[in-house]
Amino acid sequence: MKIVVGLGNPEEKYFKTFHNMGWLAAGDLAQNLGVKFKKRECEAVCAEANLNGEKLIIARPLTYMNCSGRAVKQLLAKHRAAPEDLIVIYDDYDLPKGHVRIRPSGSAGTHNGMRSVIAEIGSSNFPRIRIGIRDAEVNIPIINYVLANVRPEDYELFVAACGRAADAALALAKGEKCELVMTRFNG
């Protein structure tokens, strides 16, 4: 079993913000697998797929970003999954816009949603897929930036990045070695 969680904020007004890149990538993954988000459980909306005989849960927490860990902890407990069965997709201000970076484990960096996940599950030993959102031309406080809508001229760049993140999540969920997935998708 694998659980892929796309971090974001649940209200429609946040849908096209930088902070919802994880939510959007989770949507791309579900669409690629032909499944829909129709099941609400553990403070998340979930889609289920079958990958080579194993269950895959794709989840979008319904908590706000800074409380994402609550939903993740509940999902792991309900499905009796370990942190190693988890893959988290999220935006990262520390990466240039449009870049995708996969890591097998690590710290939360500056991301409060990931801080919540790590604190709630008591582990940082799970793969994460980060979608870069930093634009060197924009100089506003991070909190204002991450909650801003993606600029129209950057929309296609972020659509492509979310698609790559979804493809990387699928590769990890299928059991491909993280190092190989990193080689294919980082950058």
Long-range Cβ pairs for the range 141-149 (8 Å, 24+) = 142/93, 142/110, 145/18, 145/93, 146/17, 146/18, 146/19, 146/91, 146/93, 147/14, 147/17, 147/18, 147/19, 148/17, 148/18, 149/16, 149/17
Which is catalytic among the residues 19, 79, 99, 111? 19
Instruction: Assign 128 to helix, strand or coil.
Output: strand
Active site residue 19: yes
Distance set, CA 46 to CA 29, 55, 150 (Å): 12, 12, 25
Which residues does the annotation mark as catalytic?
19
